[in-house]
Amino acid sequence: MPSSPEPEVSVIISTYGTLGVTLACLHSIAVHAAHCAIEVIVVDDCYPGAAEVADLSSVSGITLIRNDSNLGFLRSCNKAALGAKGRYILMLNNDTELQPGAIDALVELLGARPDVGMAGSRLLFPDGRLQEAGGILWADASGWNFGRGADPARPEYNYVREVDYCSGASLMIRRQLFEDLGGFDEMFSPAYCEDADLALRVRQAGLKVLYEPASTVIHHEGVSHGTDLNSGVKAYQTVNQARMRERWQATLARENYPNGAHVLRARDRARARKVILVIDHYVPQPDRDAGSRTMRGIIDSLVDAGWLVKFWPHNRAHLAGYTEALERRGVEVIDRRWPGNLSDWMQDNGRELDHILVSRPDVAEAVLPYLILNTEAPLSFYGHDIHHARMRRQAELEGNVKLLADAAAVERLERKVWRRFDLIIYPSEEEAAVVRGMVPGKLVRSIIPFGFDIAAPRSAPPSGRSILFVAGFAHPPNVDAAAFLMRDIVPKLQSEIGPVRVTLAGSNPSDSVRALAGPNVDVTGYVTDDVLEQLYGQHRVSVIPLRFGAGVKGKVVEALSHGLPLVTTSIGAQGIVGLGDVVLVQDDVAGMVAGLRRLLTDDAAWMAQSATQTAFAARFFSRASMRDSVLCALADAEGVMAGDPLEPDPR
């Protein structure tokens, strides 16, 4: 067995006979070894079998404790905890088998969340069916093993959730907290309900209890104590439920639901939380496109404010890495793993929703019928930009008659969608004002569409003459901007100051963008956020030479937040009030070249603009600013639904 004199985790296993089961449990710990240091403490609860004790004694690496008398499961665990040395204690039934990463996932969760005191695993039956995805306590102190018998792959069992309790079959708690609480309460000896009681006391101490699906454990239920509620240790399940009800009656009446009621809220401890359904065309990929970054920022803002977020990707696709990132944030992603359609889901859950937010006009048109029929929650629409205005600018620039007709069709669609929603949201007050003029009488609000961690002030400019253009090249305005940069701007700039290195960084570069690569031009394709961070630190200037588009541009705000001096056009600056006082905004080639030349050659000018940009971003585009703007907009919609008069936007 793995063993460390300075463990991060102390694994405690109480046994009474069933040697083969215990050895299988130990084998799973050894085979699926945790990355962190552990110790394994096995308590033999005075089983009258010398041979079994000898066999346990032969397992190297464990600390074996043999009780002088039979203490029962609960007291045995408390006794073992007194000698535990780890930062965390993992209580583990001897009839469990760990799956890969089971310990590490719990350690990672507790390490990242100081607001969490205890976390439990996803439990499976040996045949692969779900046994428990966290527990629900009802107002009468009875409990549900949420998801029992279901397919463990379904989305409702695969996101990190706050829960009433998790089964003591696999339960990790901070050791100091366990000691401060006095361990399992011996009122529940020998076993049953001690885990639920401990969870309530953890919350009473101001900490949360979470379910971690990434920690998966097979539980051979009933091997230790049987399944007969009328005999043996199992009989204490009924007795201890009555004790739970007597002790926690007031808390359960205040915080929990009657048996079987409001399951969607009950499973997430959401009786006092707002529940919102967010719908977009697919799961956000914030490292690939600005629209995704905005949607992820909105979701994060809601989660940080305590809202329970359900996300419906319109294409129903599970995107590896991106879906799991949302699930780790506590968001249920209702993709193709859920067997029904949106109509089914809304019929089941529409009455539980406090708000619905839909993104993009084509998605909104498709889902509106199912929403209107099944909920009375406010319906909010987020447009990203005024699509028809962006398309019309492109058509006029290119002289494209067909695109002009398409823009007219999209305008009809957008007007139709705007009329059906209670709240219309855009990323700038400029766009919000346009929409107010087009649909008078509707509630239209702007939000801060991007929230970033603001970089520390720069101490010096990077060496060399390098220009960075960050963009998702699946978006036509960015393809045009790259061509404009390399065809019209860079040659004139180089004729004045000599060679310049250019990096075109971003996902989905078209063939025309790839063709721009050369000795001093790097077309990176997709880059991770970590690599992008390095690019912002290495380059001297950021340029965003957009000639058409709409909405607030994420790459503009990103450059501001990194303190990398920026040159852009009026299209790039669109929607950001006061940006022209901070960065150079020029639409003609000569003006852009002059601005780039100055920032590439004048260190004092570079430092001054970098500092000004960082201060501007901190004031207007912090994560807190974005969160507050999102919450204010949604509150306005709820106020109007409640009968408050429609007021002008005060911001």
Tens-digit pLDDT profile for residues 18-69: 899 999 999 999 999 999 999 999 999 888 877 777 788 889 999 999 998 9
Phi, psi of 53 (to 5 degrees): -65, -40
| First and final C-alpha spacing in the chain | 62
Q: What single-letter DSSP state applies at residue 72?
A: H
Q: Which amino acid is at 111?
A: G
CA-wise closest residue to 150 among 166, 132, 164: 132
- What confidence score (pLDDT) does residue 224 get? 53
Q: Which residues pair with 12 in a beta bridge?
A: 41, 91
Residue 324: C-alpha distances to residues 168, 171, 180, 341 (Å): 26, 22, 34, 21
CA-wise closest residue to 152 among 130, 177, 120, 122: 130
CA-wise closest residue to 289 among 564, 507, 483: 507
Decide: 356 and 302 in contact? Cβ < 8 Å.
no
Packing angle, helices 554-562 and 290-304, rounded to 10: 70
Angle at alpha carbon of residue 356, lines to 353 and 358, rounded to 5°: 155
| Tokens describing residue 388 | 């028809």
**Residue 103, helix vs strand vs coil:** helix
CA-wise closest residue to 407 among 427, 398, 510, 419: 398
Q: Which amino acid is at 420?
A: R
Q: CA–CA separation, 124 vs 145, rounded Å?
A: 11
Same fold, 9-257 and 275-446: no
| Tokens describing residue 265 | 């809220």
Q: Which amino acid is at 353?
A: L
- What confidence score (pLDDT) does residue 640 get? 73
Sheet of 584-585, strand order: 521-525, 501-505, 466-470, 541-544, 566-568, 584-585
Q: What is the DSSP string of 202-260?
A: HHHTT-EEEEEEEEEEEE-TTTTT-S-TTSTGGGHHHHHHHHHHHHHHHHHHHHSPSTT
Which of these CATH numbers, 2.60.40.10, 3.20.20.70, 3.40.50.300, 3.40.50.11930, describes 275-446? 3.40.50.11930
Cis peptide before 190 (omega within 30 of 0): yes
Decide: 389 and 367 in contact? Cβ < 8 Å.
no
- The structure's pTM equals 0.88
What is the domain class of 466-621 according to CATH? alpha beta
Burial of 538 (0-12, 13-18, 19+ CB in 10 A): middle
C-alpha count within 13 angstroms, C-beta hemisphere, residue 512: 14
Phi, psi of 13 (to 5 degrees): -125, 120
What is the domain class of 9-257 according to CATH? alpha beta
CA-wise closest residue to 157 among 7, 36, 279, 333: 333
| Tokens describing residue 272 | 């006092």
Decide: 455 and 561 in contact? Cβ < 8 Å.
yes
Q: Which residues contact 284 (CB under 8 A, 6 or more apart)?
A: 292, 293, 295, 296, 299, 322, 326
Domain definitions of the chain by residue range:
9-257, 275-446, 466-621
C-alpha count within 13 angstroms, C-beta hemisphere, residue 401: 0
Those residues of the chain that have pLDDT short of 50 are 225, 228-232, 650-651
| Tokens describing residue 296 | 């992820």
- What confidence score (pLDDT) does residue 228 get? 46
C-alpha count within 13 angstroms, C-beta hemisphere, residue 628: 8
Decide: 1 and 59 in contact? Cβ < 8 Å.
yes
330-365 exposure pattern, b = at least 16 Cβ within 10 A, e = fewer: bbbbbbebbeeebeebbeebbebbbbbbbbbbebbe
